[in-house]
Amino acid sequence: MNGFGFGRLTGTVSLAAGGAPLQEARVFVVGTALATVTGQDGKYTFPRVPSGTAEVRVLRLGYQEQKKSVRILDGQTATLDFTMTPSVVQVQQNAHWHNAQAYRASIHDTQQPSGADADKTDRADKTDKKKAG
């Protein structure tokens, strides 16, 4: 981008399967602070993009990232459409198991002893206090 002038960039983000509009996709002009979100109709607009070649990136949770370049001409409107393909998100079962184990351990560590264990704890506390006093 050369920064001498500005053009307008508009487009539609849709699903690859069926072509339905994809709302709430994040659209960025790489290397600038320009960012927006698609509307219910899948459309986005940047009213003022520096002229030159712009790289545009689209992100949406559950879909593969898309990147394309477009030429922005001073005072003109460029159109750049995207079609998004669902991505497969793999969940690591072991990570969930370890997190569950850690959670259980933290609960166990914070619980107060009861019954015979409470009696042992009380006796130990009294012994410690006698030694300290």
Domains of the chain and CATH, by start: 6-84 (2.60.40.1120), 93-132 (no CATH)
Q: What is the pLDDT of residues 68-116, one digit of tens each?
A: 999 999 999 999 999 999 998 665 555 554 555 555 555 555 445 555 5
- In which band, very low, low, confident or very high, does the pLDDT at 1 lie, cut at 50, 70 and 90? very low
Query: In the numeric block, which tokens belong to residue 13?
Result: 């983000």
Tell me the sheet residues that pair with 44: 11
Cβ atoms of residues 22 and 60 within 8 Å: yes
